[in-house]
Amino acid sequence: MLPGLPVREAPMSQPPVAERIFLGDSVLTMEPSSPRAEGVAVGGGRILAAGARNDVLALRGAATEVTELGERALLPGFIDGHGHIAKVAASFGFANLAGPPVGAVTTMDELVAELRRFATEQGKQPGDWIVGRGYDNSFLAEGRHPTRDDLDRVSREHPIYLQHISGHLSVANSLALEMAGISAETDDPPGGVMRRREGSREPNGVLEEAAMGPFGAGLIPPPSPDAEAAQLAAAQQLYASFGLTTAQEGAMWPTEQAMLEAAASEGRLTLDIVGYAFWAQARQMLAGKATGAYAGRFKLGGMKLMLDGSPQGKTAWLTKPYHVIPEGQPADYCGYPAMPDDRAAGLCAMAYREGWQVIAHCNGDAAAAQYLQAIAAAEAGAPGSDRRPVMIHAQTVRDDQLDRMAELGILPSFFASHVYYWGDYHRDSVLGEERARRISPMRSARNRGLRLNLHNDSPVVPPDVMRLVWSAVERRTRTGRELGPEQALSVEEALRAVTIDAAYAHFEEDRKGSISAGKLADLVVLEADPTHAAAQDLAGIRVLETIKDGVTVFART
């Protein structure tokens, strides 16, 4: 300092001024040390403070918006444990063939009529594709899948392709089969089945698992860029309407990756989206790219394996036979694997070498055994890393397998809504009473210290988080019967599973999933406090507002 100049003290830093303050008795933080707060202050996309009312109000400025919650509740924004937002977006261009409560199709005639209505409404011309999704053979009055003959009733001038509600089966009409090169001379591919007309090799139009491959290789024209952008915007708004601030594309193909990366770079993502490259093209999709870091609200999470199929489609890979054997299958039919053991092990080893997180679809306990074996070998080859592999669905995982998951650090992500949507069918047709009671064995997982999360696997069912929470707590089927109540979660546990524990599975627990100073201001306002509601009322609690990075992205009017 030069002589004669006055000494000046450094200015004291000014406390931040909140852009918005929430006050109320039902601020559920998901922080174990302080599960409730009286207020939350938000500014600059972050949570500035959470705690006592007066401490939070100390950050109030002249322009601060103050919200008195009253009977409403404030929670961290919900996080999608597993789903497919890009496929939800695409479904906005398809005919909705689901049954109640998602759609209105309950018979084969209604399915045919809905496809005809959709074609007329969309102005389809001869040669144009008609695509639908969501049909569910287990709830159609006829109790069967539609066939090429049913779809030929709709039209022989349009190629028609329908996706089963599970996404693991499909059906095509005669023209679509011809365009795909599928005929009596076509053999079943490894990991897939082309169902045949009785007594012949002629395909009946129903395709299982890998047999759907010809329809995933550009045969069906994609939407225009403008339509694709509009569909993605609609999907994000749908997710936000259910309180989700982080979504997942959990089986991403190159075209979907390109769409999401473009939307991110153009500032069109209103939610954070985590993408997992489908194993078949993971190397080319992830090569040279950083995983685990966001760019414009999109990040690559790692690689997705598909190790079996669908329990309601009876393609999941079990160790014991199905309760009711599908027509044409032997008495010891247990489903089948999607890939051999050596391929599953090799893919997991590759992911561990590359530093990619692995998530794996395992509905059947035989598929779970394959994954456990593959992860154990990969871990032995690259020990000591925090990999957080995830077992998606874990629908029929056994207690001994949960023990092994705890040893290996594998996180279960349970499709708890299965109890509601297909619990009756699992009990009566898929698994029988004893095994059906244990679908999504959440309590058994919690008892072993496993950090589980929950998901809806959208577009299989809507991304309705509060119905998901209700299903995890109540475990009631569509007919109102309890199914395995001993595997239920408490309300608090279920809420953790869609917030902080789902954030943990994405390596994001330090920035999301709880209401704590410094974390992102990802918040949801519910019309009532779920911890004070009757359990049967949880599914009906509406989302009133969803806030991402401090900005409202959904508000109920």
Topology match between the domains 94-216 and 307-489:
no
Q: Is the pLDDT of residue 7 over 70?
A: no
Q: Which residues pair with 275 in a beta bridge?
A: 249, 300
- Give SS3 for 474: helix
Q: State how far the Cα of 403 lies from the Cα of 325, in Å rounded to an integer.
A: 30
Q: Is the pLDDT of residue 9 over 70?
A: no
Q: Is the pLDDT of residue 139 over 90?
A: no
Distances (CA, A) of 36 to 20, 33, 50, 56, 312: 18, 9, 9, 14, 40
Check: pTM over 0.85? Answer yes or no. Answer: yes
Q: State how far the Cα of 102 lies from the Cα of 104, in Å rounded to an integer.
A: 7
Q: What percent of the chain has pLDDT over 90?
A: 92
Q: What is the pLDDT of residue 10?
A: 38
Model pLDDT for residues 60-85, shown as the tens digit of each residue: 999 999 999 999 999 999 999 999 99
- Smallest CA-to-CA distance from 491 within 162, 30, 21 is with 30
Q: What is the pLDDT of residue 3?
A: 37
For the chain, how many helices (H) and strands (E)? 17, 22
Average per-residue pLDDT in the chain? 95
Q: State how far the Cα of 466 lies from the Cα of 488, in Å rounded to an integer.
A: 15
Token reading at 235 = 């999907």
| Count of Cβ atoms closer than 10 Å to residue 423 Cβ | 26
Report residue 5's pLDDT band, with 50, 70 and 90 as the boundaries. very low
Distances (CA, A) of 479 to 130, 164, 414, 423, 531: 33, 22, 21, 9, 25
Q: What is the pLDDT of residue 1?
A: 34
Q: Which own/partner pairs from 327-331 qualify as long-range (CB within 8 Å, at least 24 positions apart)?
A: 328/195, 328/198
Cα–Cα–Cα angle for 132, 137, 139, rounded to 5 degrees? 105
Element (H, E) at 154: helix 148-154
- Give SS3 for 26: strand
Q: For 179-216, give the DSSP string.
A: HTT--TTPPPPTTEEEEE-TTSS-EEEEEEEGGGGGGG
Q: What percent of the chain has pLDDT over 70?
A: 97
Q: What is the pLDDT of residue 15?
A: 78
Report residue 167's pLDDT band, with 50, 70 and 90 as the boundaries. confident
Q: Which amino acid is at 373?
A: Q
Least confident among 5-9, 176-180, 278-282, 342-346:
5-9
CA dihedral (537, 453, 102, 156) in degrees, to 10, reads -170
Model pLDDT for residues 413-462, shown as the tens digit of each residue: 999 999 999 999 999 999 999 999 999 999 999 999 999 999 999 999 99
Q: State how far the Cα of 323 lies from the Cα of 501, in Å rounded to an integer.
A: 34
Average pLDDT for residues 343-350, to the nearest whole number?
A: 98
Average pLDDT for residues 211-220, to the nearest whole number?
A: 87
Q: Which amino acid is at 231?
A: Q
For residue 498, is it left (φ>0), alpha (ψ between -120 and 50) or beta? alpha
Domain ranges of the chain: 94-216, 307-489
End-to-end CA distance of the chain: 62
Structural domain 94-216, CATH architecture: Roll (3.10)
Question: Residue ranges of the alpha helices (H) in 164-318?
Answer: 174-179, 225-241, 254-265, 282-286
Contact between residue 262 and residue 229 where contact means Cβ atoms under 8 Å apart? no
Q: What is the pLDDT of residue 13?
A: 64
Helix axis angle, 365-381 to 399-408, nearest 10°: 20
Model pLDDT for residues 230-268, shown as the tens digit of each residue: 999 999 999 999 999 999 999 999 999 999 999 999 999
- Note if the bond before 101 is cis, omega within 30 degrees: yes
Report residue 217's pLDDT band, with 50, 70 and 90 as the boundaries. low
Average pLDDT for residues 90-95, to the nearest whole number?
A: 93
Q: What is the pLDDT of residue 385?
A: 79
Contact between residue 230 and residue 259 where contact means Cβ atoms under 8 Å apart? no
Given 3.40.50.970, 3.40.50.360, 1.20.120.520, 3.20.20.140, which CATH number is that of 307-489? 3.20.20.140
